[in-house]
Amino acid sequence: MKKNAETGLNARAKRKGCGVLARTLAAAGLSLAIGAAFADPVTVPNGDFSDPGNTGTVGGGLLGGSGVNALIGNGPWRGTYWGIADLLAPPSLAINHNTQTATIGGIAGVNLLGLVNNGGYFTQTLAQNWELGRFYVLSADVDAGELLNLDLLGDSGVGIAFRSGNDVLASSTSALGHLLDLDLVGSDMYRVRLGYFADLNATGPINIKMGYEPQGVASVDLLSDVTFRNVGLEVRDIGDPAAFEILTHGDLLQAEVGQPFSGNLIVLVRDDDGDGVPGYTVTFTAPTTGASAVLTSPTGGTGTTVTAVTDIDGLAMVSAQANSEAGCYRVTVEGVGIPEVATFYLRNYSNAPGVNSIFCNGYQ
C-alpha cells in the first residue's frame, strides 16, 4: 500500500522524471501523454546555492592538509577534503551565492608507488529520516567543463551519493546503470539523477553528497574543476508492477531488410497508480524464424530474446535490426507479476526490384 494519502498539487508534486521521459520520446520522434506519475519533493536547504550565508571556501592551503565536515559559511553545506602529505595540497571547495554554484577545484595527482590523488566533497544532513522501502531520487546539475558519459563521469571520480551517517548507500560512481540517468542540459552541463530503494542499511537522517574523488587518475586526465548546481531530492512510493504501456508506434516500427529500426522499442512499466516501476526486468521476444529482428538490450544482451531492466522512470527499451526476410511480425513484452503480454507490431520491407514487399500492420 502506498504512503501518499493526500491528493492535489499541494500534496504531491508532479514527478520531474517525466521531463526526461518526454525528451526520450521526443528524440525517438514521439509525442505522447505520459500519464499521472507523482513524487513527494524533499526539501534540500540551499539546494540552489543562493543563500549568501552559505557562501565561502574551505580546503586549499598547506601540502597534506585535510578537513572533515568543515562548515561552509553558516551552512548548511559542509566540505570534506584531503591532500597528500608533503606532496599535494587539498582541493578547494567553494560555494558562491552570486553564481549559485558549488565548485571543487585544484584536484591533482602524483606518483607515489602508484598514482594517488587529492579529493573532496560537499555534504549535507537533512531533517528527514530514511523510510524503508521508499524510492529516492537525488539529482544535481554537474558541469565538468567537457562532454562526458556515465562511464567517464564515474571513472573520473565525479558523482553524487546517498549516505546514512558516513556510510555510502548508493553512488553515481558505482550504481547499477538502470538506476542512474545522465541528461545533457547545456553545452557541458549534465543533469545527473541517482535512484535508490531505501533498504535496512538506510537509518537515521538522510545525508546527501556531491564529490570529486579521483583514484589513480593521472594529472593529464583530471578535470580542472567540477561545478554543481540545482540539487534536488524526491521520494516515490512504488507499487508492484501491474501493466505495460507501449510507447513506440508507427513508422518507427518499420525498417528495410538488414537495416536498423529508426526508433528504440520502448515500454513503460506501471504500478496500479500509474507510476513507473524502476528496477523491473522485462523480456522482449522476436520470432526465431521468418521475418524478424535482432534485439539489443543495454542491460541484457543481443538476440531474438533479450531482457532489459527498467530505468529510474520505469522505462525499458531495446534497439532492433531487421533480418534479411521481408514480412510483418510481433515482438512481445512480458514480465513476472504482470498478467498481460504487450506487443509491438513490426514490419521488414524490401526495395529490391522484383521483391514483393509485404504491407501489413496498418501500413499502406
In this structure, what CATH number is given to the domain that contains residue 321? 2.60.40.10
Q: Which of 189, 207, 236 is the C-terminal boundary of a domain?
A: 236
In this prediction, residue 3 carries a pLDDT of 42
State the total domains in the chain. Answer: 2
pTM, two decimals, is 0.83
Q: Which of 236, 268, 300 is the C-terminal boundary of a domain?
A: 236
Same domain, 154 and 284: no
- pLDDT tens by residue, the chain, 364 residues: 444 322 222 222 233 334 444 444 444 444 444 434 567 899 999 999 999 999 999 999 888 889 999 999 999 999 999 988 878 889 999 999 999 999 999 887 766 556 677 899 999 999 999 999 999 999 999 998 776 666 666 677 889 999 999 999 999 887 666 788 888 888 888 999 999 999 999 999 999 999 998 877 666 677 888 999 999 999 999 999 999 999 998 888 999 999 999 999 999 999 999 999 999 999 999 999 999 999 999 887 999 999 999 999 999 999 999 999 999 999 999 999 999 999 999 999 988 766 656 666 554 3
- Please say whether the beta carbons of 323 and 257 come within 8 A: yes
Element (H, E) at 156: helix 150-156
Same domain, 141 and 82: yes
Same domain, 213 and 335: no
Range of the domain at 184: 43-236
User: How far apart are alpha carbons 39 and 272 in whole angstroms?
Assistant: 15
What b/e sequence results for 115-132 when a residue is b if at least 16 CB atoms lie within 10 Å of its CB, and e otherwise? ebbbbbbbbbebeeebee
Q: Which of 188, 211, 236 is the C-terminal boundary of a domain?
A: 236
Q: Which residues pair with 8 in a beta bridge?
A: none
In this prediction, residue 31 carries a pLDDT of 40
In this prediction, residue 20 carries a pLDDT of 41
Spacing of C-alpha 141 from chain mean position: 12
